[in-house]
Amino acid sequence: MTEKPTSGRGSRDLRVRVKTAKGRKLSSTLWLERQLNDPYVARAKREGYRGRAAFKIMELDDKYGFFKPGARVVDLGCAPGGWCQVAVPRVNALGANAKKPVGRVLGVDLQEVEPIPGAELHQLDFLADGADDLVKGWLGGRADVVLSDMAAASSGHKPTDHLRIVALVEAALDFAFDVLEDGGTFVAKVLAGGAENAMQQMLKQNFTKVANVKPPSSRADSSEKFVVAMGFRGRDRAAEESAAD
């Protein structure tokens, strides 16, 4: 592997080029090259975040302000932990600011997550039977913010990937309807592609404000976007809406 800045067109072209190596697929070479040249990957490393995903939730919270001191946050699909790392100080989960209320961050993922001070982490398949009840048990009450960055491993077939992510978002939304405090926030990754229209409708009925956002740190060539639904209208109303459907 060659990982050195190329001089290309003049000395300002500092892009790292990775040569193909025997046994490495072209897709892996391109992935490696993209990682090495991604400013968010470098920034995550510098600032101690576990991945570039941390900047997506940071940018969304900077814009919408849902992480408040004292907030109870559930992070579905939290590995390797970037979103939890951002949430912990913002909701004061470690009580570092004695003058502000202490929040809580509960993360769940299929994969094991290295401990994060201030976050409670559980390994769980959120689509398994009874998974939502388990999380509700750990939570022991309501949540102010439900996050979902859950994404299944890519199958390479876009429509299949899209349907999978919709199933994950729907499970997260069902859970949010059950546990969110009135006025609460739901943030989830979705893929642009059409199958989520019914979900958008449901969000608009049950939250006072729904935004579809592509934060600056989300790769331009990725079809991911995020829904930020704020001002949950309340459990009774959510139940009425689904009974009427």
Ligand X SMILES: C[S@@+](CC[C@H](N)C(=O)[O-])C[C@H]1O[C@@H](n2cnc3c(N)ncnc32)[C@H](O)[C@@H]1O
134 scored as a contact of ligand X (CB under 6 A): no
127 scored as a contact of ligand X (CB under 6 A): yes
Of 16, 32, 36, 152, which one interacts with ligand X (CB under 6 A)? 152
Residues numbered 224 to 243 that lie near ligand X (CB under 6 A) are none
Separation in Å, CA 241 to CA 170, 183, 199, 208, 232: 15, 17, 13, 14, 13
195 scored as a contact of ligand X (CB under 6 A): no
11 scored as a contact of ligand X (CB under 6 A): no
User: In the complex, what is the shortest distance from the CB of residue 61 to ligand X, in angstroms, rounded to a whole number?
Assistant: 13
Of 77, 103, 118, 184, which one interacts with ligand X (CB under 6 A)? 77
Half-sphere exposure of 96 (CA within 13 A, CB side): 10
- Binding part of the chain for ligand X, among 35-43, 46-54, 215-223, 229-237 by CB under 6 A, reads 46-54
- Residue number with CB closer to ligand X (16 or 110): 110
135 scored as a contact of ligand X (CB under 6 A): no
Residue at 222: amino acid letter? S
Q: Which residues, in sequence order, are bridge partners of residue 74?
A: 106, 146
Q: Which residues, in sequence order, are bridge partners of residue 76?
A: 108, 148
Of 55, 66, 67, 83, which one interacts with ligand X (CB under 6 A)? 83
DSSP string covering 78-90: -TT-HHHHHHHHH
Q: Would you say 227 and 202 are in contact if contact means Cβ atoms under 8 Å apart?
A: no
